[in-house]
A and B are shown apart, each in its own frame.
Chain A
Amino acid sequence: DAGVTQSPTHLIKTRGQHVTLRCSPISGHKSVSWYQQVLGQGPQFIFQYYEKEERGRGNFPDRFSARQFPNYSSELNVNALLLGDSALYLCASKPPTGGSGSPLHFGNGTRLTVT
């Protein structure tokens, strides 16, 4: 079975531009979460979506937004990019069964570099 897939794998943008990152969850998973991992740190929670609704948001500015589509895939959008937005952006999905303790399954991430 395919795992969580993210595209693109790498991206270079200039300050002030915007970016869209894409994620396809594992088949059957309805919950998608986004995390930002700055070099040398652990991932930080950005958003969770379930059944196309936002179910959680981390401490990130309004420049960050996301949405989930009827097929449960998701997009993360970042506007007005800053140098500090350079990071690995990870998407994770979670199975619908097993309760809230079901673990997250992560993709390989999109490496965003802002110059």
Chain B
Amino acid sequence: GEDVEQSLFLSVREGDSSVINCTYTDSSSTYLYWYKQEPGAGLQLLTYIFSNMDMKQDQRLTVLLNKKDKHLSLRIADTQTGDSAIYFCAETRAGTASKLTFGTGTRLQVTL
């Protein structure tokens, strides 16, 4: 079955880069997403990547996809205190695109 795993916690200093990792098991995964959730709020879409890509950059965010190892990462450059939140990796397959399988989330703590 589908499974998505993330480490639970990451702490970085303000101004450093953060790298949040995710692994997934479904080789049929075709779309991979990163969402951000702040306390008491819903999910904010950060970025997404199709499986035929290996990298996508969007301002401070860089997504790297290693399809062979089923590994996805999100790099946040110049991390700010406002980046403190829970980050969820999610995957889906073509034809089931509203059925996302989420990881358990990585809590990012940004310290001064």
Whether the Cβ atoms of B48 and A103 lie closer than 8 Å is: yes
Q: Judge whether A72 is part of the interface by a CB distance below 8 angstroms.
A: no
9-residue interface stretch from A40-48, A60-68, A75-83: A40-48
Whether the Cβ atoms of B94 and A105 lie closer than 8 Å is: no
Measured in the bound complex, the distance between the Cα atoms of B57 and A10 in whole Å is 37
Decide yes or no: A92 and B98 within 8 Å by CB, A103-B48, A105-B45, A108-B41 being known contacts.
yes
Decide yes or no: A94 and B97 within 8 Å by CB, A103-B33, A104-B45 being known contacts.
yes
Q: Judge whether B73 is part of the interface by a CB distance below 8 angstroms.
A: no
Q: Judge whether A97 is part of the interface by a CB distance below 8 angstroms.
A: no
Whether the Cβ atoms of A108 and B94 lie closer than 8 Å is: no
Q: Closest CB of chain A to B9's CB: distance in Å? A: 12
Whether the Cβ atoms of B97 and A100 lie closer than 8 Å is: yes
A contact residues, total (Cβ < 8 Å): 29
Measured in the bound complex, the distance between the Cα atoms of B40 and A82 in whole Å is 22
Whether the Cβ atoms of B42 and A42 lie closer than 8 Å is: no
Residues in A neighbouring B43, C-beta threshold 8 A: 43, 90, 92, 106
B contact residues, total (Cβ < 8 Å): 27
Q: Chain A 26-43 against B: per-residue CB contact (8 Å), 1 yes, 0 no? A: 000001010100001111
Whether the Cβ atoms of B98 and A55 lie closer than 8 Å is: yes
Whether the Cβ atoms of A48 and B95 lie closer than 8 Å is: no
Measured in the bound complex, the distance between the Cα atoms of B99 and A55 in whole Å is 10
Measured in the bound complex, the distance between the Cα atoms of B48 and A44 in whole Å is 19
Q: Chain B 100-112 against A: per-residue CB contact (8 Å), 1 yes, 0 no? A: 1111110000000
Which residues does A use to contact B, with CB under 8 Å? 4, 31, 33, 35, 40-45, 48, 50, 55-56, 58, 90, 92, 94, 99-109
Known: A41-B104, A43-B88, A100-B94. 16 other contacts (CB 8 A): A35-B100, A45-B98, A50-B98, A94-B98, A99-B97, A100-B92, A101-B31, A101-B50, A101-B94, A104-B33, A104-B45, A105-B45, A106-B35, A106-B45, A108-B41, A109-B42
Which residues does B use to contact A, with CB under 8 Å? 4, 30-31, 33, 35, 41-45, 48, 50, 88, 90, 92, 94-105
